[in-house]
Amino acid sequence: MTPAKLLVPTYVQLLNALSGWLGKAQAQLSADEAEALLSARLAPDMFPLSTQIRFACVQAQEGMARLQGMGFPASIDVLLDEGRNGGTHPGTMADAQDRINQTVALVQAAESDQFDNDGERPIEHSLPNGMIFDLTAETYARDWTLPQFYFHVMTAYAILRSEGINLGKADYVSHMFAYLRPGTLPSQQD
């Protein structure tokens, strides 16, 4: 499987799940309480929910650009700026949903012929602190962008759960219900 064939559906499925979790939070709380969630953190030295959402979007957009051999879209700088300032300017739930929707649209718009499907293609990944990683497209997808994306998505899930939002495993793997054999859903789910 090529890196793009792995990343595109993964990004779309989990970003849609994240959007659904935010929707559940909005349904379970008053408008003010839902907005306050964007400032919630798991630990004092961690970024808040608003930043986790934006950084998940960064990972998906960056992954698409790198695998297409393109420069980063301007939206990445916007997301990074918003994310870095999420503690003082968390934005709104509508902003968060908009960022997710924009990212899903960007990922879905990527045509399969736009990708360099050579998993051995070199990718240089530089971090703001000066560290540089020499990876292949395959190792970039497997060892960097997927783990980073999952980290931010799962941290958002954990923040929502720690703040009392009623979410469960079915919310995390909601995309799997498309594969469920008819008649096999138990009457009570775990």
Taken in order of first residue, the domains within the chain and their CATH numbers are: 3-175 (1.20.120.450)
pLDDT at 36: 96
Average pLDDT per 10 consecutive residues for the chain, totaling 190 residues: 84 96 97 96 97 97 89 92 94 97 92 70 89 93 95 98 94 88 78
Upper half-sphere CA count for residue 119 (Cβ side, 13 Å): 12
pLDDT at 187: 78
* CA–CA dist 126, 104 (Å, integer): 25
Tell me the two tokens of residue 165: 């939002």
pTM: 0.91
Tell me the two tokens of residue 187: 């009457």
Segments of 43-148 assigned E as strands: 122-126, 132-136
> If we measure between CA atoms, which residue out of 68, 144, 57 comes closest to residue 112?
68
pLDDT at 113: 59
